[in-house]
Chains A and B, each alone.
Chain A
Amino acid sequence: MKRKTWIIPSCFLIAGFLMIVLGISRGEHHTVLEKAIKICLECIGIG
Protein backbone atom coordinates (compact mmCIF):
# COMPACT_ATOMS: atom_id res chain seq x y z
CA MET A 1 0.00 0.00 0.00
CA LYS A 2 2.80 2.38 0.95
CA ARG A 3 4.53 1.75 -2.35
CA LYS A 4 1.39 2.64 -4.30
CA THR A 5 1.18 6.14 -2.82
CA TRP A 6 4.56 6.93 -4.37
CA ILE A 7 3.70 5.80 -7.90
CA ILE A 8 1.72 8.86 -8.99
CA PRO A 9 4.06 11.50 -7.48
CA SER A 10 7.04 9.68 -8.96
CA CYS A 11 5.43 9.66 -12.41
CA PHE A 12 4.63 13.38 -12.12
CA LEU A 13 8.16 14.17 -11.01
CA ILE A 14 9.70 12.24 -13.87
CA ALA A 15 7.29 13.88 -16.34
CA GLY A 16 8.01 17.32 -14.85
CA PHE A 17 11.77 17.01 -15.05
CA LEU A 18 11.49 15.55 -18.55
CA MET A 19 9.40 18.53 -19.65
CA ILE A 20 11.95 20.94 -18.18
CA VAL A 21 14.78 19.22 -20.05
CA LEU A 22 12.79 19.15 -23.30
CA GLY A 23 11.80 22.78 -22.85
CA ILE A 24 15.42 23.79 -22.33
CA SER A 25 16.49 21.76 -25.37
CA ARG A 26 13.91 23.72 -27.42
CA GLY A 27 15.28 27.00 -26.06
CA GLU A 28 12.11 27.98 -24.19
CA HIS A 29 14.15 29.24 -21.25
CA HIS A 30 15.60 31.96 -23.49
CA THR A 31 12.08 33.21 -24.21
CA VAL A 32 11.34 33.24 -20.46
CA LEU A 33 14.54 35.15 -19.71
CA GLU A 34 14.01 37.65 -22.54
CA LYS A 35 10.52 38.41 -21.29
CA ALA A 36 11.55 38.59 -17.63
CA ILE A 37 14.46 41.04 -18.02
CA LYS A 38 12.41 43.69 -19.80
CA ILE A 39 9.68 45.73 -18.17
CA CYS A 40 6.43 44.13 -19.26
CA LEU A 41 4.35 47.18 -20.17
CA GLU A 42 1.17 45.14 -20.62
CA CYS A 43 1.61 43.64 -17.14
CA ILE A 44 1.86 47.03 -15.45
CA GLY A 45 -1.05 48.53 -17.37
CA ILE A 46 0.76 50.54 -20.04
CA GLY A 47 0.69 49.00 -23.44
Chain B
Amino acid sequence: MVKKKKRPGKIRLLIQCAFGALSNGHLIGFKTGKIYTGALKVLCAPGMNCYSCPGALGACPIGALQAVLNSKQYHIALYVFGFMTVMGTFFGRLICGFLCPFGLVQDIIHKIPTPKKVRKLPGEVYWRWLRFVLLGVFVILLPMIVHNLFGIGDPWFCKYICPVGTLEAGVPLVLLNPALKDAIGWHYAWKIAIAVLILVASAMIYRPFCRYLCPLGAIYGLFNRFAIYRYHIDTEKCVGCGACQSACKLEIPVWKKPNSMDCIRCGECRHACPTGAIKIK
Protein backbone atom coordinates (compact mmCIF):
# COMPACT_ATOMS: atom_id res chain seq x y z
CA MET B 1 0.00 0.00 0.00
CA VAL B 2 1.53 3.30 -1.10
CA LYS B 3 1.31 6.07 1.47
CA LYS B 4 -0.68 8.91 -0.11
CA LYS B 5 1.06 12.31 -0.14
CA LYS B 6 -0.66 15.08 1.78
CA ARG B 7 -2.53 17.54 -0.45
CA PRO B 8 -0.32 20.62 -0.61
CA GLY B 9 -3.09 23.14 -1.39
CA LYS B 10 -3.80 24.55 2.06
CA ILE B 11 -0.19 24.67 3.22
CA ARG B 12 0.77 26.32 -0.06
CA LEU B 13 -1.99 28.89 0.33
CA LEU B 14 -0.80 29.67 3.86
CA ILE B 15 2.79 30.11 2.69
CA GLN B 16 1.66 32.29 -0.22
CA CYS B 17 -0.40 34.52 2.10
CA ALA B 18 2.37 34.73 4.70
CA PHE B 19 5.02 35.61 2.13
CA GLY B 20 2.72 38.06 0.34
CA ALA B 21 2.09 39.83 3.67
CA LEU B 22 5.78 39.75 4.59
CA SER B 23 6.98 41.21 1.29
CA ASN B 24 4.28 43.90 1.48
CA GLY B 25 4.69 44.63 5.16
CA HIS B 26 4.87 48.43 4.90
CA LEU B 27 1.24 48.65 5.93
CA ILE B 28 1.29 52.37 6.70
CA GLY B 29 1.86 52.92 2.98
CA PHE B 30 -1.67 51.72 2.24
CA LYS B 31 -2.98 54.49 4.48
CA THR B 32 -0.69 57.34 3.48
CA GLY B 33 -0.26 56.48 -0.20
CA LYS B 34 3.51 56.73 0.19
CA ILE B 35 5.92 53.94 -0.64
CA TYR B 36 8.65 52.50 1.58
CA THR B 37 11.98 54.22 0.95
CA GLY B 38 14.30 52.26 3.25
CA ALA B 39 17.51 50.40 2.50
CA LEU B 40 15.77 47.01 2.24
CA LYS B 41 14.71 47.99 -1.24
CA VAL B 42 18.20 47.30 -2.47
CA LEU B 43 17.16 43.63 -2.26
CA CYS B 44 14.92 42.05 -4.86
CA ALA B 45 11.80 40.15 -3.89
CA PRO B 46 11.89 36.62 -5.34
CA GLY B 47 8.51 36.93 -7.11
CA MET B 48 6.63 39.58 -9.07
CA ASN B 49 6.04 42.34 -6.52
CA CYS B 50 5.97 45.90 -7.83
CA TYR B 51 8.32 48.21 -5.93
CA SER B 52 5.82 51.03 -6.26
CA CYS B 53 3.26 49.08 -4.27
CA PRO B 54 2.66 51.11 -1.08
CA GLY B 55 3.42 48.03 1.01
CA ALA B 56 6.45 46.69 -0.87
CA LEU B 57 9.60 46.21 1.18
CA GLY B 58 11.79 44.97 -1.68
CA ALA B 59 12.46 45.66 -5.36
CA CYS B 60 10.75 43.83 -8.21
CA PRO B 61 13.43 41.77 -10.01
CA ILE B 62 11.99 42.49 -13.46
CA GLY B 63 11.67 46.21 -12.76
CA ALA B 64 15.18 46.27 -11.26
CA LEU B 65 16.56 44.44 -14.30
CA GLN B 66 15.11 47.03 -16.67
CA ALA B 67 16.26 49.90 -14.42
CA VAL B 68 19.87 48.73 -14.68
CA LEU B 69 19.71 47.87 -18.39
CA ASN B 70 18.20 51.21 -19.37
CA SER B 71 20.48 53.38 -17.24
CA LYS B 72 23.33 55.38 -18.74
CA GLN B 73 26.19 53.58 -16.97
CA TYR B 74 25.34 49.91 -17.46
CA HIS B 75 24.43 47.65 -20.33
CA ILE B 76 24.65 44.42 -18.40
CA ALA B 77 22.71 43.80 -15.19
CA LEU B 78 25.02 41.52 -13.22
CA TYR B 79 23.51 42.21 -9.80
CA VAL B 80 19.94 41.33 -10.78
CA PHE B 81 20.87 38.44 -13.09
CA GLY B 82 23.08 37.09 -10.30
CA PHE B 83 20.17 37.26 -7.87
CA MET B 84 17.89 35.45 -10.32
CA THR B 85 20.55 32.80 -10.97
CA VAL B 86 20.95 32.08 -7.26
CA MET B 87 17.19 31.99 -6.60
CA GLY B 88 16.58 29.92 -9.73
CA THR B 89 19.31 27.44 -8.83
CA PHE B 90 17.90 26.88 -5.36
CA PHE B 91 14.20 26.86 -6.14
CA GLY B 92 13.40 27.09 -9.87
CA ARG B 93 9.72 27.89 -10.31
CA LEU B 94 8.89 26.81 -6.77
CA ILE B 95 9.03 30.58 -6.25
CA CYS B 96 6.10 31.02 -8.66
CA GLY B 97 4.07 28.42 -6.82
CA PHE B 98 4.78 29.55 -3.28
CA LEU B 99 6.29 33.02 -3.08
CA CYS B 100 4.78 35.17 -5.83
CA PRO B 101 2.03 37.56 -4.65
CA PHE B 102 0.55 37.85 -8.14
CA GLY B 103 0.45 34.06 -8.38
CA LEU B 104 -1.59 34.08 -5.17
CA VAL B 105 -4.02 36.62 -6.67
CA GLN B 106 -4.52 34.42 -9.73
CA ASP B 107 -4.93 31.29 -7.57
CA ILE B 108 -7.66 32.95 -5.51
CA ILE B 109 -9.51 34.25 -8.57
CA HIS B 110 -9.35 30.79 -10.17
CA LYS B 111 -11.32 29.42 -7.21
CA ILE B 112 -14.34 31.50 -8.32
CA PRO B 113 -16.85 29.11 -9.89
CA THR B 114 -17.31 29.72 -13.62
CA PRO B 115 -19.45 27.80 -16.13
CA LYS B 116 -16.31 26.45 -17.76
CA LYS B 117 -12.67 26.11 -16.75
CA VAL B 118 -10.33 26.12 -19.75
CA ARG B 119 -7.44 23.70 -19.31
CA LYS B 120 -5.56 24.88 -22.37
CA LEU B 121 -5.93 27.29 -25.27
CA PRO B 122 -5.79 26.28 -28.94
CA GLY B 123 -2.10 26.41 -29.87
CA GLU B 124 -1.15 26.28 -26.18
CA VAL B 125 2.43 25.16 -26.87
CA TYR B 126 3.10 28.25 -28.95
CA TRP B 127 1.40 30.69 -26.54
CA ARG B 128 3.71 29.49 -23.78
CA TRP B 129 6.70 30.81 -25.72
CA LEU B 130 5.23 34.32 -25.58
CA ARG B 131 6.78 34.90 -22.16
CA PHE B 132 10.23 34.37 -23.65
CA VAL B 133 9.46 36.86 -26.42
CA LEU B 134 8.36 39.41 -23.79
CA LEU B 135 11.49 38.71 -21.76
CA GLY B 136 13.78 39.13 -24.76
CA VAL B 137 12.09 42.11 -26.38
CA PHE B 138 10.33 44.13 -23.64
CA VAL B 139 12.55 43.38 -20.64
CA ILE B 140 16.00 43.16 -22.23
CA LEU B 141 16.29 44.52 -25.79
CA LEU B 142 14.06 47.59 -25.80
CA PRO B 143 15.30 48.98 -22.46
CA MET B 144 18.89 48.42 -23.62
CA ILE B 145 18.54 49.89 -27.10
CA VAL B 146 15.88 52.61 -27.08
CA HIS B 147 17.09 55.65 -25.13
CA ASN B 148 15.96 59.27 -24.97
CA LEU B 149 18.17 62.33 -25.54
CA PHE B 150 19.53 62.00 -22.02
CA GLY B 151 20.56 58.40 -22.62
CA ILE B 152 17.84 56.93 -20.41
CA GLY B 153 15.45 54.22 -21.58
CA ASP B 154 11.98 53.15 -20.49
CA PRO B 155 11.04 50.07 -18.47
CA TRP B 156 9.07 48.75 -21.44
CA PHE B 157 7.56 45.69 -19.82
CA CYS B 158 6.48 47.61 -16.70
CA LYS B 159 5.22 50.53 -18.76
CA TYR B 160 3.13 48.75 -21.35
CA ILE B 161 2.33 45.26 -20.07
CA CYS B 162 2.88 44.45 -16.40
CA PRO B 163 -0.50 43.97 -14.66
CA VAL B 164 1.26 43.54 -11.31
CA GLY B 165 2.27 47.20 -11.18
CA THR B 166 -1.23 48.26 -12.15
CA LEU B 167 -2.91 46.13 -9.51
CA GLU B 168 -0.46 46.49 -6.63
CA ALA B 169 0.65 50.07 -7.22
CA GLY B 170 -1.41 51.84 -9.89
CA VAL B 171 -4.81 51.27 -8.31
CA PRO B 172 -3.96 51.98 -4.64
CA LEU B 173 -1.70 54.96 -5.38
CA VAL B 174 -4.22 56.61 -7.68
CA LEU B 175 -6.98 56.07 -5.09
CA LEU B 176 -4.82 57.51 -2.30
CA ASN B 177 -3.22 60.45 -4.15
CA PRO B 178 -5.46 63.12 -5.69
CA ALA B 179 -2.49 64.49 -7.69
CA LEU B 180 -1.95 61.12 -9.36
CA LYS B 181 -5.67 60.78 -9.94
CA ASP B 182 -5.61 64.02 -11.93
CA ALA B 183 -2.72 62.76 -14.05
CA ILE B 184 -4.29 59.54 -15.36
CA GLY B 185 -5.00 59.19 -19.06
CA TRP B 186 -4.91 56.72 -21.95
CA HIS B 187 -1.80 54.99 -20.59
CA TYR B 188 -3.51 54.23 -17.29
CA ALA B 189 -6.61 53.03 -19.14
CA TRP B 190 -4.45 50.69 -21.26
CA LYS B 191 -2.76 49.23 -18.19
CA ILE B 192 -6.08 48.79 -16.39
CA ALA B 193 -7.51 47.04 -19.47
CA ILE B 194 -4.61 44.54 -19.52
CA ALA B 195 -4.89 43.91 -15.78
CA VAL B 196 -8.66 43.38 -15.96
CA LEU B 197 -8.27 41.05 -18.94
CA ILE B 198 -5.74 38.91 -17.07
CA LEU B 199 -7.76 38.86 -13.86
CA VAL B 200 -10.94 37.88 -15.70
CA ALA B 201 -9.03 35.22 -17.64
CA SER B 202 -7.66 33.89 -14.31
CA ALA B 203 -11.15 32.81 -13.32
CA MET B 204 -11.32 30.47 -16.31
CA ILE B 205 -7.68 29.63 -17.09
CA TYR B 206 -5.28 28.63 -14.32
CA ARG B 207 -2.59 31.33 -13.97
CA PRO B 208 -2.72 32.90 -17.46
CA PHE B 209 -0.08 35.50 -16.59
CA CYS B 210 2.39 32.87 -15.35
CA ARG B 211 1.70 30.59 -18.32
CA TYR B 212 1.92 33.06 -21.16
CA LEU B 213 3.33 36.41 -20.08
CA CYS B 214 5.58 36.34 -17.03
CA PRO B 215 9.24 37.05 -17.92
CA LEU B 216 10.39 36.17 -14.40
CA GLY B 217 8.69 32.79 -14.66
CA ALA B 218 10.43 32.33 -18.02
CA ILE B 219 13.81 32.88 -16.34
CA TYR B 220 13.10 30.65 -13.35
CA GLY B 221 11.65 28.00 -15.67
CA LEU B 222 15.05 27.65 -17.35
CA PHE B 223 16.41 26.53 -13.98
CA ASN B 224 13.76 23.89 -13.26
CA ARG B 225 15.95 21.16 -14.76
CA PHE B 226 19.02 22.10 -12.77
CA ALA B 227 17.55 23.49 -9.56
CA ILE B 228 18.42 21.96 -6.22
CA TYR B 229 14.66 21.58 -5.67
CA ARG B 230 13.53 19.45 -8.58
CA TYR B 231 11.38 16.42 -9.34
CA HIS B 232 12.56 12.97 -10.24
CA ILE B 233 10.45 10.08 -11.55
CA ASP B 234 11.09 6.72 -9.96
CA THR B 235 10.78 4.65 -13.15
CA GLU B 236 10.35 1.45 -11.18
CA LYS B 237 7.23 2.83 -9.52
CA CYS B 238 5.74 4.89 -12.38
CA VAL B 239 3.03 2.99 -14.22
CA GLY B 240 2.42 5.76 -16.80
CA CYS B 241 -1.24 6.15 -15.81
CA GLY B 242 -1.21 9.90 -16.46
CA ALA B 243 -2.85 10.76 -13.10
CA CYS B 244 -0.20 13.43 -12.60
CA GLN B 245 -1.13 15.16 -15.85
CA SER B 246 -4.83 15.01 -15.03
CA ALA B 247 -4.17 16.63 -11.65
CA CYS B 248 -1.87 19.30 -13.10
CA LYS B 249 -3.74 22.55 -13.72
CA LEU B 250 -1.02 23.52 -16.20
CA GLU B 251 -1.50 20.32 -18.23
CA ILE B 252 2.07 19.14 -17.82
CA PRO B 253 2.80 15.44 -18.49
CA VAL B 254 4.83 15.25 -15.28
CA TRP B 255 5.65 11.55 -15.70
CA LYS B 256 7.42 12.42 -18.98
CA LYS B 257 8.70 15.91 -18.12
CA PRO B 258 9.04 16.20 -14.34
CA ASN B 259 11.12 19.37 -14.67
CA SER B 260 9.14 21.14 -17.37
CA MET B 261 9.78 24.90 -17.67
CA ASP B 262 6.06 25.43 -17.06
CA CYS B 263 5.91 23.59 -13.73
CA ILE B 264 5.34 25.90 -10.75
CA ARG B 265 5.88 23.06 -8.24
CA CYS B 266 2.40 23.28 -6.71
CA GLY B 267 2.76 19.61 -5.77
CA GLU B 268 -0.70 18.48 -6.93
CA CYS B 269 0.89 15.81 -9.15
CA ARG B 270 2.76 14.28 -6.23
CA HIS B 271 -0.48 14.07 -4.31
CA ALA B 272 -2.29 12.49 -7.26
CA CYS B 273 0.34 9.88 -8.12
CA PRO B 274 -1.09 6.50 -7.05
CA THR B 275 2.33 4.89 -6.71
CA GLY B 276 4.34 7.74 -5.16
CA ALA B 277 6.67 7.80 -8.14
CA ILE B 278 7.28 11.57 -8.19
CA LYS B 279 10.12 12.32 -5.81
CA ILE B 280 11.84 15.53 -4.80
CA LYS B 281 15.55 15.39 -5.52
* B78 in contact with A26 (CB, 8 Å): yes
CA separation between A44 and B81, bound complex, in Å? Answer: 24
User: Interface majority SS on A: helix, strand, loop or mixed?
Assistant: helix
* B180 in contact with A32 (CB, 8 Å): no
Query: Is A43 part of the binding interface, using a Cβ–Cβ cutoff of 8 Å?
Result: yes
* Residues in A neighbouring B192, C-beta threshold 8 A: 45
* B173 in contact with A39 (CB, 8 Å): yes
Nearest-CB distance from A7 to chain B (Å)?
10
* B63 in contact with A40 (CB, 8 Å): yes
Interface residue from A23, A24, A44 paired with B77 (Cβ < 8 Å) = A23
Interface residue from A9, A34, A40 paired with B169 (Cβ < 8 Å) = A40
Across the interface, name the chain A residue whose C-beta is closest to B188. Answer: A45
CA separation between A47 and B184, bound complex, in Å? Answer: 9
CA separation between A24 and B74, bound complex, in Å? Answer: 12
CA separation between A28 and B63, bound complex, in Å? Answer: 13
Query: Is A1 part of the binding interface, using a Cβ–Cβ cutoff of 8 Å?
Result: no
Given contacts A12-B223, A44-B52, are A37 and B35 in contact (CB under 8 A)? yes
Across the interface, name the chain B residue whose C-beta is closest to A22. Answer: B78
* A45 in contact with B83 (CB, 8 Å): no
Across the interface, name the chain A residue whose C-beta is closest to B89. Answer: A12
Most buried by B among A24, A32, A42, A46: A32
* B73 in contact with A31 (CB, 8 Å): yes
* Residues in A neighbouring B158, C-beta threshold 8 A: 40, 42-43
Given contacts A8-B226, A33-B42, A36-B41, are A20 and B170 in contact (CB under 8 A)? no
CA separation between A8 and B230, bound complex, in Å? Answer: 13
Query: Is B253 part of the binding interface, using a Cβ–Cβ cutoff of 8 Å?
Result: no
Interface residue from A38, A40, A46 paired with B183 (Cβ < 8 Å) = A46
* Residues in B neighbouring A33, C-beta threshold 8 A: 39, 41-42, 59
Q: Which B residues contact A (CB, under 8 angstroms)?
A: 35-39, 41-42, 44, 50-52, 56, 58-60, 63-64, 67-68, 71, 73-74, 77-86, 88-90, 154-155, 158-159, 162, 165-166, 169-170, 173-174, 180, 183-185, 187-192, 223, 226-228, 281
* A46 in contact with B169 (CB, 8 Å): no
14 further interface pairs, Cβ-Cβ under 8 Å (given A12-B86, A36-B41): A12-B89, A12-B223, A19-B81, A22-B79, A23-B82, A33-B59, A35-B51, A36-B63, A37-B35, A44-B169, A44-B188, A45-B166, A45-B189, A46-B188
* Residues in A neighbouring B187, C-beta threshold 8 A: 45-47
CA separation between A5 and B67, bound complex, in Å? Answer: 35
* Residues in B neighbouring A13, C-beta threshold 8 A: 85-86, 89-90
Interface residue from B38, B80, B162 paired with A32 (Cβ < 8 Å) = B80
* B74 in contact with A31 (CB, 8 Å): yes
* Residues in B neighbouring A28, C-beta threshold 8 A: 68, 74, 77-80
* B68 in contact with A32 (CB, 8 Å): yes
* Residues in A neighbouring B68, C-beta threshold 8 A: 28, 31-32
